[in-house]
Structure 1
Amino acid sequence: MTERKAFYAGSFDPLTNGHLDVLKAALAVADTILVGVGIQASKQPVFSLEDRMALIERSVADELGLDAGRIAVVSFEGLLVDASRRHGATIMIRGLRDGTDLDYEMQMAGMNETMAPELQTVFLPASPSVRTITATLVRQIAAMGGDVTPFVPAVVAEALRGKFQA
């Protein structure tokens, strides 16, 4: 049987419990998951690429136990379909929080299918308990000194405190 390899892309600035929720669900769909941390020159992230990758690796190790060995963290620039192909993935994982996400992701899936018909987009709904979490809101709460521990893994909360302490 052929290994099912999936690519789960995002900026992960920072990784949230919502991202982890989708990642856990993706483990039921694929044998191996590549978490692709996107590089966008137009964005100034709070965490460097290296820090984002390290926080994902530490969070996965802390939260997923033995399944952590099925996950690899990579960086990529450019189109998701190109990165997926380069890494040998046949599945692209996309998380959904609400109908707005679905509308946007359906457009993306259609464009991706035209560019790379051999890749399958799989939508995974976030669990109700994490649907409201966004990395943008987490960054805003952390920047204002709020408690982000309900929204992110412990290592990410610690890293955010370090970034935003006065």
Structure 2
Amino acid sequence: MADGGLIGLYPGTFDPITNGHLDIIGRAAQLCSKLVIGVARNAGKGPLFPTAERVEMVRAEIAPIAERTGTEIDVQAFDSLLIAFAQQVSAQVIVRGLRAVSDFDYEFQMAGMNARLDQRIETIFLMASERHQFISSRFVKEIAQLGGDISSFVPKLTLERTLRRVGRP
């Protein structure tokens, strides 16, 4: 855990939360004294889970990380401009995970825009661990809907809820 009370914000849709997200959260929690997980409402993406359920799933899945790291981790839904939400929660850094070079282009542009909107808030990038680099919520949903095995991509609670949501036992 970082000295000095660093407050981080890790935003995402988390539809559903994956093992890749949990990896980034665990590593970010080691850098921050407080980490806010911002669950974006983002109706434009056509979420599988309603916002309240995504918040609930994230809270359940991150509890062991908070306990293990001793970091205060708060989960909140938001539907505002990311930088406005970062200001609202007093974040000093926005944490973003990178899986591949293709993520970098988008994230680089977003970090630049956020810096122009508020230069006091830094963006830090954490590379996905090798075993999680290919995982995305979009692929997890698609695989689940088409009958594939997603058990190695998501934690147990999320697995059960995702399978129920797509009409699988």
Q: Which runs of 5 or more residues in structure 1 are unaligned?
A: none
Q: How does 1:20-59 map to 2 (within 5 A)?
A: 20-59=22-61
C-alpha separation in 1, matches of 2:58 and 2:71: 13
**Aligned counterpart, 1:100:** 102
Q: Could you say what secondary structure the match of 2:45 adopts?
A: coil
C-alpha separation in 1, matches of 2:129 and 2:35: 19
Aligned: 1:82 with 2:116:
no
Q: Which runs of 5 or more residues in structure 2 are unaligned?
A: none
Sequence identity (%): 34
The CA RMSD measured in Å over matched residues stands at: 1.5
Aligned: 1:118 with 2:120:
yes
TM-score (ref. length: structure 1): 0.94
**Paired positions, count:** 166
Contact 1:61 1:68 in 2 (8 A): no
**Aligned counterpart, 1:5:** 7
C-alpha separation in 2, matches of 1:64 and 1:140: 30
Contact 2:16 2:54 in 1 (8 A): yes
Contact 1:18 1:130 in 2 (8 A): yes
Q: Could you say what secondary structure the match of 2:75 adopts?
A: strand
Contact 2:95 2:124 in 1 (8 A): yes
Deviation string 1:83-124 (CA, Å, 9 cap, x unpaired) is 000011111000000111111111111111110100010000
Contact 2:66 2:73 in 1 (8 A): no
**Aligned counterpart, 1:147:** 149
TM-score (ref. length: structure 2): 0.92
Displacement after TM superposition at 1:69 (Å): 5.4
Aligned: 1:131 with 2:133:
yes
**Aligned counterpart, 2:68:** 66
Contact 1:91 1:120 in 2 (8 A): yes
Displacement after TM superposition at 1:44 (Å): 2.2
Greater shift in the superposed pair: 26-35 or 133-142: 26-35
Displacement after TM superposition at 1:28 (Å): 2.3
Deviation string 1:51-88 (CA, Å, 9 cap, x unpaired) is 10111111112455333752110011121110000011
Q: Which amino acid aligns with 2:87?
A: R
C-alpha separation in 2, matches of 1:122 and 1:107: 13
